[in-house]
Amino acid sequence: MAARKSPVGWILLVLAVVGAVVWFRSAANTPLPVDRAIARGQVTVSFAAADAAHSTLTITRAGADGALTVVVPAGAPIYSAAAGDQRLAVARTVTVRLAKGQSQASVALETYCLDQFALQPTPTTALSFSPPSDGTVVEETEPLRKLIACLDGSTQPHDARQFAVWMVSQNYLDLSYAQARGRIREAYRQVLDDQARTALNGAVRDQVAAALPGASSADIDAAVTRIGGQRLAGKLDARAERMTAADLKGFLGGGAQALESCGYQTQVLEFFKDAPKASA
């Protein structure tokens, strides 16, 4: 007579199968960082940027149709394909859930600008979580990553948090107030000068040419030069001063508060030592 087989082996086998199924379903729903999902070829992403603070991220499934959860963490860098454009960073962690059979989902992203004086993204700007192919990427510092992670849960308004991010990303905290003011004003003056030069050589010159039919190229150039003379330079100087003052006010106000909420002792930082107490 054949020996009876113990049911223990079958029970263990059933438990193992059930455990494997539970593990598989759990793994399928485990949040996956967006960069890892992209690297694995599970998703592709696209952006539509309204401005430096607001974008819409669309995640499209590239493979299996099971449930998939993707996390976009605060601090994730976003790059532009165009040279000279701002780098961005995700300001608030978002989770995107694709249900079984769902191929695509979109979510609103709040973002920070990391490069204070660079060109803002527009709805036509090509953005990506991957750095440009030319390898020109400014290294992100550990203090900046920690600050953005801390601000993920902050109740401070966006502008205050943005000023705090700039103070770290632009290294203003290591400068005296006067040094920072000079650097900011010089940068704004250069930006305004570049914009004015582009306008003078483009739209302004076209308007002058239309207003002076039959004028020679030399006469048009002379008229454009007069427009771009000392009077315009004075206006650009005044505007650079106003923009600088506005930023400094933001740094001393909401920016300082946002930094303090993340453990920065502003009273001992170089920037704040000789800064005005009330306004810039």
List, in order, residues 6 or more apart from 138 with CB less than 8 Å away: 87, 114, 115
Least Cα distance to 47 among 60, 65, 66 occurs for 60
Predicted confidence pLDDT, tens digits, the chain (280 residues): 444 455 555 555 544 444 434 344 444 568 999 999 999 999 999 999 999 999 999 999 987 788 999 999 999 999 998 877 889 999 999 999 999 999 999 999 999 999 999 988 888 899 999 887 765 555 567 899 999 999 999 999 999 999 999 999 999 999 999 999 999 999 999 999 888 888 767 776 677 778 778 767 776 666 656 766 667 888 999 999 999 999 999 999 999 999 999 999 999 999 999 999 855 4
pLDDT at 222: 67
Alpha-carbon Rg for the chain in angstroms: 27
- Please check whether residue 77 is in contact with residue 18, taking contact to mean a CB–CB distance below 8 angstroms: no
Q: How far is CA 23 from the centre of its chain?
A: 36
Q: What is the 3-state secondary structure (H, E, C) of the chain?
A: CCCCCCCHHHHHHHHHHHHHHHHHHHHHHCCEEHHHHHHCCCEEEEEEECCCCEEEEEEEECCCCCCEEEEECCCCEEEECCCCECCEEECCCEEEEECCCCCEEEEEEEEEECCCCCECCCCCCCEECCCCCCCCCCCCCHHHHHHHHHHCCCCCCHHHHHHHHHHHHCCHHHCCHHHHHHHHHHHHHHHHHHHHHHHHHHHHHHHHHHHCCCCCHHHHHHHHHHHCCHHHHHHHHHHHHHHHHHHHHHHHHHHHHHHHHCCCCHHHCHHHHCCCCCCC
List, in order, residues 6 or more apart from 72 with CB less than 8 Å away: 34, 57, 90, 93, 94, 95, 96, 107, 109
pLDDT at 90: 97
The Cα 111–Cα 109 span in angstroms is 6
pTM: 0.80
pLDDT at 105: 95
Q: Which two tokens stand for residue 22?
A: 């539970």
pLDDT at 21: 40
Q: How far is CA 49 from the centre of its chain?
A: 10
List, in order, residues 6 or more apart from 84 with CB less than 8 Å away: 118, 119
pLDDT at 220: 65
Q: Which two tokens stand for residue 138?
A: 């400014």
pLDDT at 15: 46
264: left (phi over 0), alpha (psi -120 to 50) or beta: beta
User: What are the angstrom distances between the C-alpha of 230 and each of 122, 216, 233, 236, 238?
Assistant: 32, 24, 5, 10, 12
